[in-house]
Amino acid sequence: MASNAKKSAKKPKSIQEEAHHPGADQHGEIPLSRGERRRQQFEQKRVDRKQAPAKQQREQRLLKWGGIALAALLLLGVGYGAYHWLTTRDENRMPEGITTYNYTGGEHSNDAVAYTESPPVGGTHNPVWQTCTFYDGKIASENAVHSLEHGAVWITYQPDISDEDKARLENWADDRSYLMVSEYEDQESPFVFTAWNNQLSLDSLDDKRATQFMNYFIQGPQTPERGASCTGIDTMLG
């Protein structure tokens, strides 16, 4: 076994072979000369120079298409913003046909108040405000007026409106904070929309002014105490 191992072992190079290939490494590979390395580097630079224009063109194309894509996204964003503004500006403007008043806020009383307007639009009110929600019945005007002072919109409806209209009003109250809805007998129109010092009578909830009134006056510029709570008492009359 030992003799076979010796026979299979690689024969070392002779002195003549080593001299014939000076500088060969242990794997028998001959390193490049300085001139060969220079020629190799020159060739690599030539290849790089040849490929450079194509690489630059690819980069320029990427930059070009990237810029086009970015510009398209910006145009889409601006276009959507303009479209949204155009389609919603009418819903958010002050509605026509409003009757305005000139009451000042901050006057409280625990006594019953004889209001001039029906429903009332401002003036002296109870120190406790009414919770903004839907009421399937009547509430005290003195508490409701205090909620108006806090920026609420109060929609009052006649007792004989349809169940569909009543359900619609309830959905509106559920979807909007600072919206208070209640029954009110002593009004000429089926629906009256009231904010502090502002009132609008409507025959139908399909009138676009209904949405305009809510959007414009809920916590609107007329509010004497903007940001004050609209969660108070939720009692009804009768």
- Pick 27 or 134 by higher pLDDT: 134
Rg (Cα) of the chain, in Å, rounded? 43
What are the tens digits of pLDDT across the range 217-238? 999 999 999 999 999 999 999 7
Give pLDDT, residue 148: 98
Q: Which residue, chain included where needed, has tokens 């969660």?
A: 231
Tell me the average pLDDT of the chain: 84
Q: What is the pTM of this model?
A: 0.66
What are the tens digits of pLDDT across the range 58-112? 777 777 787 787 877 887 766 655 554 455 678 999 999 999 999 999 999 999 9
Inter-CA distances, 54 with 47, 58, 122, Å = 12, 6, 77
Average pLDDT over residues 23-29: 55
